[in-house]
Amino acid sequence: MRSDTIRLGCGAGFSSDRLGPAVDLAQRGALDYLVFECLGERTMAFGHRDRMLDPARGYNPQLRARMRGVLAHCHANGTKIITNMGVANPRAAALLTVDIARELGLSGLRVACVEGDDVTHLIGPDTEFMDHPGAVKDVGLRMVGANVYLGVEALLPALQAGADVVIAGRIADPALFLSPLVHRFGWALDDWTALGRGTLAGHLMECGMQVTGGYFADPGFKDVPRLADCGFPIAEVQPDGSFVITKLDDTGGCVTPATVKEQLLYEVHDPAAYLTPDVTANFRGVSVAEVGRDRVRVSGADGSARPDKLKVTIGFDGGFLGEGGVSYAGPNARARAELAADVVRERLTRINQLGGDLRVDLIGLNSLHQTAEVPMSDSADVRLHVALRSTDRDDIDTMLWEVESLLCCGPAGGGGYRGQVTPCVVTHSALIARDQVSPSFEVFVA
Amino acid sequence: MSQPRRIHDIAHARAGDKGNTSNVSVWAYDPKDYPLLKQQLTADRIKKAFPKLFTGAVTRYEMDDLHGLNFVLLDALEGGVNTSLNLDSHGKSFSYLILGLPIEA
């Protein structure tokens, strides 16, 4: 027998988030819904690339491990799962989940895939970007796919059809949490206040541990207990949309007004106008109150009409990022590292005449804020770090060869060469009309 | 008893990114320090403190009830995580860059 309160848990706040704390929530969270938010703009583009290489792939690489970890617990506890782990292939993700359910003996489990976010067919060379001048044809890179941010309306039909697991691709992050609230509380899709409050619950939950002590600790100033055992968050939501953020008692981390406030404005610009496909949420009048140990009550969010248009993220194949480095330590380390930087710049530009974007940093001096006017430290432990972005893999390999050659050909005492190459994607955003999008769902039974 | 202080001594902060825009929220630990924070940590001061890094417009939003300020920094991420060659391509460390600014009691 469940009360009027809906208990939401977050089992992942990004694609590579931890699994163990999600299993804890599935097992002991007494949750109504466990949500896995695993999709960033770039993650989506990588999903498209994976699917191009293998049509059966394109979903979150940790899908199998996550479902194997939580599915039986969720089934036993009556917890439904909502996730965007479908990435560029929700159908394949749903079919894999059905297979896993059968392996686990969970016969009859209903797994829905939600589709319609892939709008690659609506994007052409002349599609203009929303946040800066230019169009698709100006990018000069191969488009890999385009996805529209869907909202509550895309997920509701699958929940209403009684799905135990709902797997989607591009859904606005807060909508993953807002949808079950709309479904269970029966909120109208133009009850902007309720949608604004539910969106705030989703916004605070969607980054997982960032509200329970992750991305927060600053020893001596903001101490977090047992950070290594940090728990994922739980939201206990009331029918009026107010809620308490908490976590399992025996996990590490903390939920305090400070952790909640930092997350309140994370990736928010105007606090009075947080745009989602479902509502323009207003966080300006929000109150946070500590109501118990690791329990913070959040109320006072509001909302107004949803935006007319929907945001689309267009992904492009961005080639490669190459990074190579060599370390210098002890007396005069800084001067030797600076000489190495000069040598590598000269070798790459004058002798190899490499194009592309090149950057040379000295880690230990001022690598992160090189362009800010901050006095450089005088470390005796300095690492040359060379980064090059290019669509030409040969350029990347040339750069790495040059950096490695510093071991014998550069300043005295350089050691510890490492080099790596990372595939890159580039994303841009555009707007499309709502009536160009028609989400759909299908349920598969294990 | 007055001692040289940094914003880090009275406030905490978190940075986030969207495209080529960064936002940093800064929160007073103690509500009584919020007026000082609000008076000294202006958008103009941040832009002037890091002119080569924060090249675009800086806008400040105030959350008086929660004793926090939100700074939105346009064009601050060298093109954004897609194209930046900065090791911190998301600008996650901007929060501590701002917390390192001196504050006068």
Instruction: For residue B93, give its domain range.
Output: 5-103
A213 in the same domain as A181:
yes
Q: pLDDT (tens digit, 9 = 90+) per residue, B32-91?
A: 999 999 999 999 999 999 988 898 999 999 999 999 999 999 988 887 777 788 888 899
A296 in the same domain as A341:
no
Q: How confident is the model at residue A369 (pLDDT cuts 50, 70, 90)?
A: confident
Residues paired with residue A386 on neighbouring β-strands, in sequence order: A324, A360
A253 in the same domain as A114:
yes
- Is the predicted ipTM greater than 0.90, yes or no? yes
Distance from CA of B32 to the nearest CA of A (A): 16
Q: How confident is the model at residue A324 (pLDDT cuts 50, 70, 90)?
A: very high
Instruction: Verify whether the Cβ–Cβ distance A265 to B63 is below 8 Å.
Output: yes
Assigned token pair, B30 = 């103690």
Residue A352 lies in a domain: yes
Residue A407 lies in a domain: yes
Residue A143 lies in a domain: no
Q: How confident is the model at residue A375 (pLDDT cuts 50, 70, 90)?
A: low
Lowest pLDDT segment from A63-72, A125-134, A142-151, A301-310: A125-134
Query: Which of B25, B63, B88 is facing A368, going by the closest CB pair?
Result: B88
Q: CB-based contact (8 Å) between B88 and chain A?
A: yes
A281 in the same domain as A387:
no
A393 in the same domain as A341:
yes
Instruction: Verify whether the Cβ–Cβ distance B70 to A266 is below 8 Å.
Output: no
Instruction: Verify whether the Cβ–Cβ distance B100 to A222 is below 8 Å.
Output: no
Instruction: Verify whether the Cβ–Cβ distance B85 to A288 is below 8 Å.
Output: no
Q: Which residues contact A405 (CB under 8 A, 6 or more apart)?
A: A347
- Enumerate the residues of chain B whose CB falls inside 8 A of the CB of residue A284: 63
Residue A74 lies in a domain: yes
Q: Tell me what pLDDT residue A154 has.
A: 98
A327 in the same domain as A301:
no
Which CATH number do you get for residue A383?
3.30.70.1150
Residue type, A227: L
More confident residue, A373 or B52: B52
Residue A141 lies in a domain: no
Instruction: For residue A262, give its domain range.
Output: 6-118+150-306+437-445
Unique residue bearing structure tokens 């001067």: A335
Instruction: Verify whether the Cβ–Cβ distance B63 to A271 is below 8 Å.
Output: yes
Distance from CA of A386 to the nearest CA of B (A): 9
A405 in the same domain as A302:
no
A189 in the same domain as A325:
no
Query: Which of B21, B25, B53 is facing A262, going by the closest CB pair?
Result: B25
More confident residue, A113 or A370: A113
A321 in the same domain as A302:
no
Residues paired with residue A218 on neighbouring β-strands, in sequence order: A222
Strands A33-36 and A80-83: parallel
Unique residue bearing structure tokens 């290019």: A390
A339 in the same domain as A222:
no
Positive or negative torsion for Cα A54, B19, A314, A44: positive
Residue A402 lies in a domain: yes
A379 in the same domain as A295:
no
Q: Tell me what pLDDT residue B1 has.
A: 47
Q: Tell me what pLDDT residue A373 has.
A: 64
Q: pLDDT (tens digit, 9 = 90+) per residue, A171-204?
A: 999 999 999 999 999 999 999 999 999 999 999 9
Q: CB-based contact (8 Å) between B14 and chain A?
A: yes
CB distance A137 to A123 below 8 Å: no
Which CATH number do you get for residue B98?
3.30.70
Residue A75 lies in a domain: yes
| Count of domains for chain B | 1
Q: CB-based contact (8 Å) between B21 and chain A?
A: yes
| Count of domains for chain A | 2
